[in-house]
Chain A
Amino acid sequence: MDGVEQRDTEATAPSVIDRYYTRWFRADMKGKPCEDHCILQHSNRLCVITLAETHPILQDGRAIKNINYQISNCCSRLNNKVSGKSKRGGQFLTDFAPLCRITCTDETEYTIYSCIRGRLLEVNESILETPTLLLEKPSTEGYIAVILPKFEESKRITENLLSREEFETVVSKRIVAQSQPS
């Protein structure tokens, strides 16, 4: 193999996400302050739904008491079954379809939403066993779900989403607002 120079870890740390995904955001989901979601869009149009770093669950040293994929009496995301190449049978989600409900040890409750239209392929069952994954690695092992948008809609789904820059602008405006005397 080729020779390798010393690589600076901090500056050029490689990442699978940077190589293959584009980060999109939805801020204040359903009007709830700071309940920000990060959607990782792969170049093959698959989307991974994750919590943005700014989400309340990830703040103030919270711990997770419970994650529930049963979102209603007749619907559990755990029952989602897809088969074949065209992923038949997957539950079809709209932007505001709930994926799961998370209860923290301080009794705060949060609903995580789909954020995009598409077919649900899988939800992350590892976080049921190991909720700390969600807190420690929200962008990778702690992902919430994988959704496949319809082929015709794959380019349009980002119309309602914020790019990284736009999201950072939103976040910085919050900080300014918070620091201003009321």
Chain B
Amino acid sequence: MLPLKDGDKPVVRKLLSSGCCARCVLRFCCISVQAAYRKPPQETLEELRAFIGNTENGKSQQSASDSHDAAGSEPPGEPPMKRAKLEPVEPGAAVGGDASAVVKVEEEESSVCVACLGILQELSGPTQAVKIAERVKEGEYEFDTLVLSVSLPAQLCVREHSCWLHVKKELREKSAALAKDDVIPVKEAFKWIMQGLVAKELGGVAVVIRSLFEVSVEFTHPETEADCHFLASTCASCFKPTKNKQSVFTRMAVVKALEKISDAVFLKHYAFPPPRPSSSCVPQDVKCLHTSIFIAGRYNKFCRSLPQTPWVIDGERRMESSVEELIAAPVLLSFRAAGFNFSSSGREDVDVRTLGNGRPFAMELLNPHRSKLSREEMKHLQETINKSSDKIRVRDLQIVSREAMGRMKEGEEAKTKSYTALVWTQKAIQSQDIAFIDGIKDLTLDQKTPLRVLHRRPLAVRQRVVHRMITRYLDPHHFHLELKTQAGTYIKEFVHGDFGRTKPNMSVLLKMDTDILELDVESVDVDWPPSIPE
């Protein structure tokens, strides 16, 4: 039994005769009993008719006897199909509310609801649930719960607003009030119907309000898109054309305009009841999306001809592969993710090796179909990456939280790094000529933006500190230089001077031309991510 009150009768009558479906009638009567929406729509319709029929007993009996006079056969013009849904009306039987139902039958059943455009009619039910569940199963996602989200065409708001205004008017005459918030939104009713059905189709998975896995259902209704257009003339400020949006009539803009428009202006432009559509909404493809998973680790780079990110100029790849692609390939496979965003605590040049414990990195995996890997599986994934190429090596591979990205970037600015450079000198040197360098502590450099990056960085002077240096003499024109520096120090420019734009530099210190032949990163002194013992 529906929790309807006498005061609801005029509302039910008005909406049914205007082309609303049974479930929408429930909504405007503020019925918040979820089970009511899950009953077959036909049942609900009959209950509603029975409900309004009670006051019209006299009238209906008369019309029933009229139809009986027509030899008890079906009134002309009614297609037999529709009649079959109801129990056949036997001549002479007590008719009560049924008779008025008979007369109105083809109006409600054949037409698409003017308020929900079919969404709460044939578009919500077991058939739809099966379709949704099928799409989810196709994706072979790993998930514990899911959230069902639904996107409705913007013009639904306009139709809803129209129905509400007229219901409000109907009630005002009986001195009752109806706030727009009390009306059950189409979206909510849809979810009440579908969540349980989808859950059942997917083996009882919990369909919740917030989840890592989202199943999105979208409906469009091209036929009635123009319903919103009048709002552009009444509320031009809400509809500013933007470059990227295809239609200016977004749901948000329409809602905003409806908030602003006065009842009188609305009623002038938009008729009640809203025009009956000839077809239902069109369901778009069901979209499944799992929130991103983040993994982190540290990488070594042993190759002097490997860029960190793909090197592409004018659509042409300049160098084969990259650190991020070599790491990403096995990871994307394991997590069955669609794509990734790679991020690291600083970068090294193509021709620079990264030794020692390696450089911290993190990867966001987009729409992963698998989200949980055990420690064993992560270890195995790490081994797969390491076996796939001798140019890189990964360690401490682990799943981390989204906040991880921030931890890693803080290392980029704040922490120290250690390097070894192979330095060439123009003049011949002996080991005692470079010994003094070992005694220099916390040398402050003024580095103008190096010319090699000046095309894409602002011109500025940066102060950076070289904490300490250790020299290892090789031969009269070469020595190894170990340095420990502040993050963000340009090592190559410190050695060759960059046209004198880094001061002081090694040339100035040694009073001769110097150049850097090789550079290795020995350590990136960030204690994140946590190390995983092998």
Contact = CB atoms under 8 A, between A and B. Distances in A.
B475 A6 contact: yes
B245 interface: no
Interface string A134-167: 0001001101001010000000000000000000
B455 A148 contact: yes
Interface size class of B (residues with CB under 8 A): 20 to 34
Contact of A1 (B424, B452, B518): B518
Interface stretch (A56-64, A82-90, A91-99): A82-90
B518 A140 contact: no
Contacts of B420: 1
A100 B515 CA distance: 30
Nearest to A88: B458
Contacts of B520: 1
Given A7-B477, A82-B459, A148-B455, A16 B422 contact: no
B457 interface: yes
A115 interface: no
A182 B504 CA distance: 52
Given A9-B477, A148-B455, A2 B497 contact: no
A116 interface: no
A141 B474 contact: no
A85 B458 contact: yes
Contacts of A146: 451, 454
A13 interface: yes
Contacts of A140: 497, 499-500
Contacts of A122: 448, 459
Contact of B458 (A6, A83, A133, A141): A83
Contacts of B457: 85
A16 B516 CA distance: 9
B456 interface: yes
B17 interface: no
Q: Is the interface of A mostly helix, strand, loop or mixed?
A: loop
Nearest to B425: A9
Interface centre among B448, B480, B496, B500 (most CB of A within 10 A): B500
Interface in B436-482: 448, 451-459, 474-475, 477-478, 480
A141 B499 CA distance: 5
Interface in A47-69: 48
B65 interface: no
Contact of A45 (B455, B474, B478): B455
B474 to A, nearest CB: 6
Size bracket, chain A contacts: 20 to 34
A15 interface: yes
A168 B341 CA distance: 50
A137 to B, nearest CB: 8
Interface of B: 420, 422, 424, 426, 448, 451-459, 474-475, 477-478, 480, 496-500, 515, 517-518, 520
Given A4-B474, A85-B457, 13 more contacts: A1-B520, A2-B518, A4-B478, A44-B451, A46-B455, A82-B458, A87-B459, A122-B459, A140-B499, A140-B500, A141-B497, A141-B499, A146-B454
Interface of A: 1-2, 4, 6-7, 9, 13-16, 20, 42, 44-46, 48, 82-85, 87, 121-122, 124, 126, 133, 137, 140-141, 143, 146, 148
27 contacts: A1-B420, A1-B518, A2-B518, A4-B474, A6-B475, A7-B424, A14-B424, A15-B515, A16-B498, A20-B452, A44-B452, A44-B456, A45-B455, A46-B451, A46-B455, A82-B458, A83-B458, A85-B458, A87-B458, A121-B459, A122-B448, A122-B459, A124-B500, A137-B500, A140-B500, A141-B499, A141-B500
